[in-house]
């Protein structure tokens, strides 16, 4: 990775996804989903994970139940997965190119986070990444009705930091999030070009 992540000089506000953008939690999420799905005979593949990246946990559970015609309670399935994730989330590492942007702009530009995760896990992840002190606002799954790829999460984040959507830049790792940023009329960057994505390499190491 020789490219350096930089922000758009036209941006007056910065909005960050969290999982896979600020903190490399995606391998931990993947294993939690894979193990929970396996209990119900579902092969949760890296390709399937990419498909649901950015989708809130409960909606992902509903999707899996319908897709595989499985017999489980969606809420119990979701709680089991989130419990597994929380037990191992401390293993996640900060994504340094993004953390560098955040730290450089602390106190200079308004910043917020927009995630498909819960408020509780979002703030805990920011703490693990060492940037909790850089943010006042997080828009999480429980804060909007329409999640990514709808623009609502990022539009609400822009409103909270008092910056027009067209003046905001979104940092994302998932296609649904990138689509949401585009639909919100914001500048955006795919941060996966700036660090090594390791989803799927954990299958043999579970």
Active site members? 17
What is the DSSP code string of the chain?
--------TT-SEEEE--BTTTB--HHHHHHHHHHHHHTTT----HHHHHHHTTS-HHHHHHHHHHHTT--S-HHHHHHHHHHHHHHHGGG--B-HHHHHHHHHHTTTS-EEEE-SS-HHHHHHHHHHHT-GGG-S-EE-GGG-SS-TTSSHHHHHHHHHHT--GGGEEEEESSHHHHHHHHHTT-EEEEGGGGS---TTTTGGG-
Under a CB-based contact definition with an 8 Å cutoff, are residues 142 and 119 in contact?
yes
Tokens of 32: 């939690």
């Amino acid at each position: 990775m020789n490219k350096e992540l930089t922000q758009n000089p036209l941006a007056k506000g910065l909005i960050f996804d969290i999982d896979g953008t600020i903190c490399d939690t995606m391998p931990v999420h993947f294993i939690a989903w894979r193990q929970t799905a396996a209990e119900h005979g579902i092969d949760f593949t890296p390709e399937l994970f990419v498909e649901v990246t950015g989708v809130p946990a409960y909606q992902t559970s509903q999707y899996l139940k319908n897709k595989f015609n499985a017999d489980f309670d969606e809420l119990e399935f979701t709680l089991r997965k989130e419990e597994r994730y929380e037990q191992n989330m401390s293993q996640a590492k900060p994504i340094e190119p993004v953390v560098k942007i955040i730290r450089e702009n602390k106190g200079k530009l308004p910043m917020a986070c927009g995630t498909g995760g819960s408020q509780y896990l979002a703030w805990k992840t920011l703490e693990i990444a060492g940037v909790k002190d850089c943010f006042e606002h997080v828009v999480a799954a429980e804060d909007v009705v329409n999640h990514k790829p709808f623009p609502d999460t990022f539009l609400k984040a822009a409103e909270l930091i008092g910056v027009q959507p067209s003046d905001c830049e979104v940092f994302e790792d998932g296609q649904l999030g990138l689509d949401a940023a585009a639909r919100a009329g914001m500048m955006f960057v795919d941060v996966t070009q700036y660090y090594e994505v390791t989803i799927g390499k954990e299958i043999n190491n579970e």
